[in-house]
C-alpha cells in the first residue's frame, strides 16, 4: 500500500483517513473515467491519492504542507503520474487547471478551511465537472439542507444555487488518525449548467444571501433593510415578514436579480 507515516499537524486541521473500506467507498464514488482530469485537494499521506492513481494513471494534487510533498512524490513512483501544486488551495485558479476542459475535484477537506474552499470552488463552477468531498457531517448536513430545516442557511443557499448537492455516506471518527471528535460525511456536488443557475451578478447574490441570514431571527424586511427594499422583496414574490430560512434558493436568485434601486 503506497502511503507513508507523517505525523498529522494540528495547526493544519489534518486528520488522515486510514480505514480501507471507507477509502474504497470514496474511490467508488469518484469512479474515474478515461480522460477525466482529477484534482485532489490536500492529499495528506495519500490514502485516497494512490488508489485513485492506480485506477486512473494520473492525478494533480494541491498540497500546502511542504513536508508531505517529497514523500508523496517518492511513494507515487511506479504507481502513476502525480503532479503536485504546492499552494494554498484558495490561491489556486481552478479555471487554469481545467484549461479547455473541466476538472473533477476530490478531497478530505481540512475542517478549519472547508467553507472557504467550497466558496472558492463555486466561483470556478464553470470549470468543474463535479466534486466529491469529505467534510464534517454537520457541514454536509448544512450543505444539503432544505428550506425550513434548522440548519438551512447561507452555506445551503450559496452551494445549492450553483450545484446539486447530495450527501452520500457517513464516515465515523475511528476511520481517521487521529480520530476527530465528530462524524464526517462524503458529499457530491455537481455544478449546474450556467443557464440553469440564472444568477445575474454573483457578488450581489452573495450580498443578499449574507444579509438575509445575518440575523436569523429577523424577518426579511428587517434583515435586508440596507440591502433590498420592502417593494423589492414583494416584487421577487416573497413575503417581507418571512424569515430567511423559509425562502427557497430560487427566491433569493429572483430577489438578487432585481434591478438596483436608483
Binding residues for S-adenosyl-L-methionine: 15, 17, 42, 63, 108
Q: Residue 111's closest CA among 164, 158, 156, 173?
A: 173
Chain center to CA of 237: 30
> What three-state secondary structure class fits 157?
helix
Grid-cell match 480520530, residue found: 179
Paired strand residues for 223: none
Dist. CA 261–CA 2, nearest whole Å: 59
For 15, phi and psi rounded to 5 degrees?
Answer: -130, 115
Q: Tell me the binding residues.
A: 15, 17, 42, 63, 108
Query: Helix %, strand %, coil % for the chain, to 5?
Result: 45, 20, 35
Dist. CA 140–CA 133, nearest whole Å: 9
Dist. CA 203–CA 73, nearest whole Å: 39
According to DSSP, residue 104 is labeled E
Amino acid at each position: 500500500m503506497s502511503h507513508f507515516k507523517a505525523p498529522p499537524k494540528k495547526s493544519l486541521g489534518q486528520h488522515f483517513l486510514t480505514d480501507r473500506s471507507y477509502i474504497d467507498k470514496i474511490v467508488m464514488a469518484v469512479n474515474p473515467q478515461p480522460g477525466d482530469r482529477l484534482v485532489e485537494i490536500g492529499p495528506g499521506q495519500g490514502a485516497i491519492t494512490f488508489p485513485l492513481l492506480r485506477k486512473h494513471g494520473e492525478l494533480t494534487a494541491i498540497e500546502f504542507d511542504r513536508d508531505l510533498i517529497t514523500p508523496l512524490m517518492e511513494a507515487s513512483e511506479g504507481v502513476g503520474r502525480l503532479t503536485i501544486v504546492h499552494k494554498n488551495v484558495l490561491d489556486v485558479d481552478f479555471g487554469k487547471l481545467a484549461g479547455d476542459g473541466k476538472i473533477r475535484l476530490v478531497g478530505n477537506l481540512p475542517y478549519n478551511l472547508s467553507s472557504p474552499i467550497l466558496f472558492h470552488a463555486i466561483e470556478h463552477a464553470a470549470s468543474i465537472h463535479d466534486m466529491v468531498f469529505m467534510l464534517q457531517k454537520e457541514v454536509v448536513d448544512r450543505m444539503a439542507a432544505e428550506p425550513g430545516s434548522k440548519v438551512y442557511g447561507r452555506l445551503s443557499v450559496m452551494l445549492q444555487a450553483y450545484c446539486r448537492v447530495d450527501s452520500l455516506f457517513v464516515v465515523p471518527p475511528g476511520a481517521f488518525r487521529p480520530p476527530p471528535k465528530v462524524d464526517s460525511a462524503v458529499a457530491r456536488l455537481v455544478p449546474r449548467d450556467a443557464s440553469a443557475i440564472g444568477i445575474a451578478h454573483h457578488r450581489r447574490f452573495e450580498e443578499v444571501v449574507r444579509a438575509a441570514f445575518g440575523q436569523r431571527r429577523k424577518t426579511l424586511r428587517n434583515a435586508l433593510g440596507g440591502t433590498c427594499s420592502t417593494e423589492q422583496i414583494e416584487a421577487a414574490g416573497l413575503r417581507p415578514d418571512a424569515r430567511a430560512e423559509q425562502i427557497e434558493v430560487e427566491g433569493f436568485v429572483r430577489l438578487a436579480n432585481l434591478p438596483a434601486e436608483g
